[in-house]
Structure 1
Amino acid sequence: MKKTIYLIAIAVLTLTSCKKEVTEEEKALATQIETYDALMAEAMEVHDEIMPKMGELMELKGEITEKAEAGELSDQTAISSTAEELKASHNGMMTWMKDYSEKFPYGDPSPETKEAIDKKMPVLEQEVEEIKNLRDKTMKAIDNAKALLNK
């Protein structure tokens, strides 16, 4: 019985003495990776928010063109600027998606080293800022088009 307790004690001590302590650098890296992952998720959330609006942009542009040609809209400056806003928002989204997918290919894992995080984080932060600005421009373009069409 004493031998069994002695062997168990040695096994427990051996296992606990091999336990690796997490360093401050590892904790900081884990925090950076979490921040990176959260930004990736935020970029996709904003993308998913405005992507369904792309069809609406084109519908509104078509409706403005149709009503302008039928003479139902007469302010050529407003027609032109609103149609251009709608087109620019749509093109901006297509460009952002292409650019984003080149920089952050689908299925790429999160960076796992400080150097990789330091390299990719500023690029990701810029992409998130761009998609947020695009969301704001898209919503403004839709609002302006609806106002022009009295919707």
Structure 2
Amino acid sequence: MKFSTGFLFVAMIFLSFACGPNAKEENQKLRDEIIAVHDEVMPLMGELKSLEKEANSKIEELEAAEMPDSTKITDLKALAYDLNQAYEGMFVWMRQYEVEDGDLTDEEVKAYLDDQMIQVNKVNDDIKAAMDKAEVLLSN
């Protein structure tokens, strides 16, 4: 009986050390992936604002026309809103993102980073969707 208890104790210690560094490495890899998603779309922020200004300019032109196209104006207002929300979404995400793990366990860090990956991917998707919409609406 002493042998099996001692063996289990040694095995548990071994497993705890064996899992520790891997969890930290995996968390760092996940953190790197999150930053890569951020870095992919961050350079587009200026273009988002330019497209929003262009949409607002077209809205003003259409509203000043003798016979304004209310459907086009509505579409452009929705576009300007989407572009602004995509822009703001990036900065909201960046402000709440924690780069330090603090006192969190590896499991808590993993859960946090999994959630952050979902959030930054949504930011990425929102930016790309708004830009795709702008390409269609502003080219007409």
Structure 1, 126-135 or 66-75: larger mean CA deviation? 66-75
Is residue 56–residue 77 contact of structure 2 (8 Å, CA) maintained in 1? no
Counterpart residue type for residue 148 of structure 1:
L
- What is the TM-score when the length of structure 2 is the normalising length? 0.79
- What is the TM-score when the length of structure 1 is the normalising length? 0.73
Structure 1, 27-36 or 51-60: larger mean CA deviation? 27-36
Unaligned 5+ residue runs, structure 1? Answer: 1-21
Output one character per residue of 1:101-134: Cα deviation in whole Å (capped at 9) or x when no partner: xx22xxx4x67x9x61122221111011100111
Output one character per residue of 1:37-87: Cα deviation in whole Å (capped at 9) or x when no partner: 011101110110010111010000000111221228831221111111101
Partner residue in 2 for 1:3: none
Distance 2:27 2:56 in 1: 43
Partner residue in 1 for 2:125: 136
Counterpart residue type for residue 119 of structure 2:
E
Distance 1:36 1:119 in 2: 10
Matches within 5 A, 1:23-34: 23-34=14-25
Question: Which structure would you say has the larger Rg?
Answer: 1
Distance 2:16 2:106 in 1: 13
Partner SS, residue 70 of structure 1: helix
Q: More helix by proportion, 1 or 2?
A: 2
Corresponding residue to 1:49 among 31, 40, 46: 40
The answer to whether the aligner puts 1:38 opposite 2:29 as a matched pair is: yes
Partner residue in 1 for 2:55: 64
Large movers: runs of 4+ above 3 Å: none
Unaligned 5+ residue runs, structure 2? Answer: 1-12
Partner residue in 1 for 2:79: 82
- Structure 1 residue 29 displacement after superposition: 1.4
Partner residue in 1 for 2:138: 149
Identity percentage over the alignment?
26
Counterpart residue type for residue 138 of structure 2:
L
